[in-house]
Structure 1
Amino acid sequence: MSIEVGSPVPGLAAPISEVPDPVFSQAMVGPGVAVKPEPGSADAVAPIAGTVATLHPHAFVVAAPGGTAVLVHLGIDTVKLKGEGFTLHVAKGDVVEAGQRIVTWNPTEVESHGYSSVCPVVALDVAPEALSDLREDGRVEAGDALFAVSG
């Protein structure tokens, strides 16, 4: 069975290797795709349907019923902002639909603090071979397919 993973934000899709953090660019937490978000305030949405397994202002994990889990990280080193500029719309343990609003944030504000706003979208605990149909370039809207995960 395969799960389609949608973009959490509108922007430009890019290879995960372009993320300016080795934990993501070297796929240490898992394979995926990066999205360089559009400037201005935006909603980050659930990339898949499932349960919110982890929730921080700057990052979240949604786990599908079959066990596939997807991490969305809003910017790099944004944990240092201590939640400033991020508004949560769900709670850990909530069941969400793909495309449901999770966090409102502002990539421009993140960059004004000197951090990258790029968003790694990563499939956790899977081998790179589990991903297919990777979209690593071009403009995407929130919800557009970035890749599929076979589990």
Structure 2
Amino acid sequence: MGIKERYIEHKSLGSLVQQRPSFGNSNFLKHRYRINLFKAESNRFKSVLDVKIMNIKVRYFTTLRELVGTREDGLELMEGSNLAELLETISIKYGTTAFTYLHVTESGIIDPSIKFLINGVGAQSLCGLETELKDGDVVAIIPPIGGG
């Protein structure tokens, strides 16, 4: 699960669904979802909709909240997705502005002062970016707060 390539056999289609995160020279956590439907018959196409979806609530704090323009967001991910895939979904929705703020490097390293809480538990104490999410999870993204 997670950063390594995952292949899921979709039995009703007889096709291969590939999820492959890329940490190359492009945007952080860029995903490519490829569904090979060439074997699927037209009457079986609707079975693609059988993929289970989970709802994740994301809470943004401090300056990050101002950048994305909302306090809370409800996002849909495929069942079995992890924190890295959630961040990629946020990147697609809000562009690279949020990730520039999070100081994400091309190698996929996030500023260690950024805290991710999953249902109130720090992601660092779980599996980091590879922490698998479950339906109904609440993820809080807390950038550092400075003052003087």
- TM above 0.5: no
Bigger helix share: 2
> TM-score w.r.t. structure 1 length?
0.29
> TM-score w.r.t. structure 2 length?
0.29
Specify the structure having the higher radius of gyration (Cα).
2
* Structure of higher RCO (CA pairs closer than 8 Å, 6+ residues apart): 1
Bigger strand share: 1
